[in-house]
Chain A
Amino acid sequence: MGLRIELDPGKCSGLGLCEAEAPELFEVQEDGSLTVLDDHPSADRRAECEAAVASCPTEALRLVED
């Protein structure tokens, strides 16, 4: 069982709240698009991931268990 972050680029508007919560996992680029720096984060990052997902104003992120 591992964690996986799913980004819906159609919903993401690059506001960067996820980056504020988890800067090692997300970064908004110069053009406003979002890069998921690590889409299979280790289990000890669960709290960060959940905070990032909950912070998104456009509900563009999902945390799934593989």
Chain B
Amino acid sequence: MDHLVVVGASLAGIRAVESARKAGHTGPVTLVGAEEHLPYDRPPLSKAYLEEAEPDDVRFRTEEHLRDELAVTLRLGAPATGLDPKGRIVAVGEDELAYDALVVTTGGAARTLPGEPLEGVHTLRTLDDAIAVRAALDAGARTVVIGAGFIGSEVASGARKRGLSATIVEALPVPLVRSVGEDMGHACAALHRANGTDLRCGATVEALEGADGRVTGVRLEGGEVLPADLVVVGIGVNPATGWLEGSGIELHGRDGGVVADATLRAADRVYAAGDVVHFPNALFDGELMRLEHWTTAAEQGALAARNALDPESATELGTVPYFWSDWYGSRIQFVGRPQADEIRVASAPDDPKFLALYRRGDRLIGTITIDRPTQIMKYKRLISKRASWAEALEFAGLG
């Protein structure tokens, strides 16, 4: 009976083990996780988890459920340190685990700033990060967020909801301009300003200031110091693939992510899923993409396990990327791809319920909305059936 080993115990990992059982796999399953925690859900960590009310349990499943219902052997608290794909062995701590099928779901690690670590400076990726940020907010921290991306913006929103001051420092002239375009970036900036967050664009952090090992402020180029008790660094994620270096698994030249084919196969009986993997997306003419989205991790985890256990009948992934972000009670939703030949704002200039369509060639390739929850999935369907630009404009009332 094949032994399935899943390395990485977050969403993609839990979906991998669940899907293996659902597909009828009765052999042993081992789930390896670097953190001590049982697998947990990340989206709430930068949202509800930061609110004043006692947070909900973010764990996906109880230990009993994983052990008794899913018959999973848990190896939590130590990361995998090496892989021998020819010998089919994963190194975890001092041990070597032999596998027949392997799914790599190690995700990524939040990027940090150079320099000595200071108390009060955090990233927000893990449950331990969220616990620390929550405790700082509970203590009434003056909050400075570095990076006006989605995670940082949610932290600022969480601070403001508690009535605390929040400042965001962003190097770009317009937030999110590279990921969603200029008009949308302005719409996002407007949300911050309308809710009392001090958004500093085109600002460069020179250094973090501290006293007795604790952060006291953020010094900007030009000399201004923003006083801070809590600094949250939200400047992106690097795929966690250090343990795969030298293994023969192909790693992407730009960011070190695992390079897989459309069935998520990285090597013989090695498949990858979630934030860690670059894959050619069949729905976008094979465009190679690495997505850090909840929905992608969920569907990739399930598919990677099925394909790893039955490579003969492996199927390809074609998916419309989707993510959401909640700021100040507004919901931003994006479907598809932001890299476009044209971005057309389809909402009125003074309408806070923003809508923009993204065109590539003659095709609708992406859509973003603010507070239009009844529309976004209809655009997702248009994208998945490869709707033309003309059809999309007509649907948006611009035809």
Residues of chain A having any CB pair with chain B under 8 Å? 14-17, 19-20, 23, 27-32, 54-55, 57
Contact = CB atoms under 8 A, between A and B. Distances in A.
A32 B331 CA distance: 9
22 contacts: A14-B331, A15-B324, A16-B333, A16-B373, A16-B376, A16-B377, A17-B295, A19-B377, A20-B322, A20-B380, A23-B381, A27-B374, A28-B373, A28-B374, A29-B373, A30-B373, A32-B331, A54-B298, A55-B295, A55-B298, A57-B41, A57-B294
A20 B374 contact: no
* The 8 residue pairs across chains A and B that have the minimum distance between CB atoms: A16-B377, A19-B377, A32-B373, A20-B377, A28-B373, A20-B380, A30-B374, A14-B373
Contact of B43 (A14, A17, A57): A57
Interface string B289-317: 00000110010001000000000000000
Interface residues of B, number: 18
A55 B331 CA distance: 19
B21 to A, nearest CB: 13
A17 B205 CA distance: 38
Decide if the interface of chain A is mainly helix, strand, loop or mixed: loop
Interface in B377-394: 377-378, 380-381
A29 B374 CA distance: 5
Give the interface centre of A17, A20, A30, A55 by most chain B CB atoms within 10 Å: A20
Contacts of B324: 15
Contacts of A23: 377-378, 381
Interface in B170-208: none
Contacts of B331: 14, 32
Nearest to A35: B374
B295, B333, B373: residue with the most chain A Cβ atoms closer than 10 Å: B373
A23 B333 CA distance: 18
Contacts of B380: 20
A23 B380 CA distance: 11
Contacts of A57: 41, 43, 294-295, 298
A55 B297 CA distance: 11
Interface in B346-381: 373-374, 376-378, 380-381
A41 to B, nearest CB: 18
Given A17-B295, A57-B295, 18 more contacts: A15-B324, A16-B373, A16-B376, A19-B377, A20-B320, A20-B377, A20-B380, A23-B378, A23-B381, A27-B374, A28-B376, A30-B374, A31-B373, A32-B331, A32-B373, A55-B295, A57-B41, A57-B43
